[in-house]
Every structure is written in C-alpha cells, then in structure tokens.
Amino acid sequence: MSNNPTLTDYRIALTLTEVGSFRAASEALGMSPSALSRQLAALEALLGTRLFDRDTRNVAPTASGSAFARLAERMLNTAADVMEEFDAHLSASRGRLTIAGLPSVTAGLLPGLLKSFTEGHPGVDLRIVDALSGSVVEAIEAGQADIGFTAGTVSARLRLTFHPLLDDHFVAVGAPEGPLGEDRPYDMVELMEMPVIAMENGTSVRELLDGACQRSGCAMEPRFEVAHLATAGALVAEGLGIAILPTLTLPVLPMERLIQRPVRDFGAKRRIGLVHQPGRSLSPSAAAFLEHAKKNLPGLRLSQRGQTEPS
C-alpha cells in the first residue's frame, strides 16, 4: 500500500473544503457518502492528523485541513498540466524529433518538407543531422536520431526498417565547355572515358555508380574522389571533370554554371526513403513525420534544375 496520498485523496480534501458537505462532495466526486467517509478516515490516519471537523450536517476543515487543501489544489493543477503535456506528446503537437539524412536530402528535399510539417506541428523541436549513408544507419542504430533519410542500399535494408518514398534518377553533370557539350543522352562507356569526379567509397552515390559500371562492363578510374557534394560541384564547375549524380543532389551544386545530360544506360535509380530501428515503436513526433513524408513526397517530381515541385 502506498505511503503517499493519491490524486483521489487530494480531490476529496479539496472538494470537501470547497463545498462543506459530505453529501455534496460525494455527488461531485461520484462516490457514496460512506465510501467518502472511509477514504477520508484512511487519509487522516495516513497523515496522522485530523483534516476536517464534521457532524451529521456540516464539515469544516481544520487548520491542517486548510493547509492540505491548498497543497491538494497545487498537486491537482500540476497533474492536469502533466497530462496536458503528455496528451500533446501523444498528438505530436509537442516533443523532440532528430532526423538524420544524406546531405543531398537535407539540402535538396528536407527544407520544403520540414516547412509543411512544422506548420502542422509547431511545438515539435527539430534537430537535423547531416551524415553519409553509413553514418545515417549508425545514428539510427545508436539512438542518436529517431528517423533518417537515406538511399535504399543493401546495408540500410538489411539493418533497418526502410520506407521507400521516391526514386532519384542519375544524370551526368559538367561544365558547358566540357566533354558534355553535345545536348544528348550519354552512355556509361562514353562517360567513363571522360575525367570523372566521383564521390568516395561508403556513399550511396558511389555504391550505385560502381554498380552501373559493372552492368555496363566498364571500369571507372576517377580523376578525383571527394567526400562532399559541394566539392564535387566546384571541381566540375572549373572544368576538371564530369560527375554522375542523382538529380536530388543538384540543388547543392552551382547549377547556374553547369549543364546536365541524361545517362542512357545507368540502369538503376537511387530509392530514397526513411529508416528507423526495427521492432521499436516510433515516438509520436517521428510517426507523424513519417506519415507526413509518405503523404507529401510521392507527389513531388524533380524539375530540370533538381528542385522539387508538385506533380
């Protein structure tokens, strides 16, 4: 048995103080007068003091009863505030949400999605973690992020629950005066004869590019390998080579100085989706964000400059 008063005890003390009658208090509390009397007696025994002087008609708080009623009001208000906050948590109107994501997603796709999400959930505190594909998976597994945007690589699918959202096509990007000067689709064999600026191993872009080379029967010997899209874009803009990248990455690049061309036989798309730990319930905020993404992202298409637009 608990050694502390219950919320029912606090309600009894406060109600009796306010109405001054066992009958009126029992009606307000939905209890019989005898049950109310027994619970009050148990409360007074627990506290070791008399809270109310009562006769057959009236009940009046003692000095200790008045003090306890004031504390009871504070406790009940606090309990109401706690439940209101918890209800807000359950409805995802408040809370915290950490989203990990590939740089191409966090820069090219996430801003618009977060804008519409925060309009409906203004009380959710958001934190964004930019990371490469492997690091997104690790952040989710380590509990450092609730949910993450990544490509549907083999590693991500084997280790996490993956919700596909959209497919991202690969294009070749180069300087206008470079080897992509002809406005036409290019084959992988042609592209691999050009100086290539490739993302480093461990990125989803590199994994898919290596697969495309294998399917085309050509080998890739990059002129440069870089870790960040901004670096790749700067090198391409200087005419140091071409890059083969997903369309979603283009907003990160200086496209006003670049051109893009279709890749005829790349043979794969980068499937973008949300991942989270398997077998674990999402927080209400994370679940709300997942549903928001499912509802809004399939209706987006990629424009020629890589910006997302309503379809």
Q: Tell me whether domains 7-84 and 170-262 share a fold.
A: no
- pLDDT of 83 above 70: yes
Tokens describing residue 311: 């379809």
C-alpha distances out from residue 195 to 53, 174, 188, 200, 224, Å: 94, 10, 13, 15, 8
The model's pLDDT over 5-53, given as tens digits with 9 standing for 90+, comes to 999 999 999 999 999 888 888 999 999 988 998 999 999 999 999 999 9
Domain ranges of the chain: 7-84, 94-167+271-310, 170-262
Residue with tokens 């987006």: 300
What's the pLDDT score for residue 281? 81
The stretch 161-175 carries a mean pLDDT of 90
User: How many other β-carbons are positioned within 10 Å of the β-carbon of residue 105?
Assistant: 25
- pLDDT of 140 above 80: yes
Tokens describing residue 240: 């140091």
The model's pLDDT over 264-299, given as tens digits with 9 standing for 90+, comes to 999 888 888 888 888 888 888 888 888 888 888 754
Could you say which architecture CATH assigns to the domain 94-167+271-310?
A: 3-Layer(aba) Sandwich (3.40)
Q: Does domain 170-262 have CATH number 3.30.420.40?
A: no
- Centroid of chain to Cα 198: 30
Q: Domain 7-84 adopts which CATH fold?
A: Arc Repressor Mutant, subunit A (1.10.10)
| Measured distance CA(311)–CA(300) in Å, rounded | 5
- With residue 289 as reference, give the H or E element that holds it: helix 284-296
The model's pLDDT over 63-77, given as tens digits with 9 standing for 90+, comes to 999 999 999 999 988
Q: How confident is the model at residue 165 (pLDDT cuts 50, 70, 90)?
A: confident
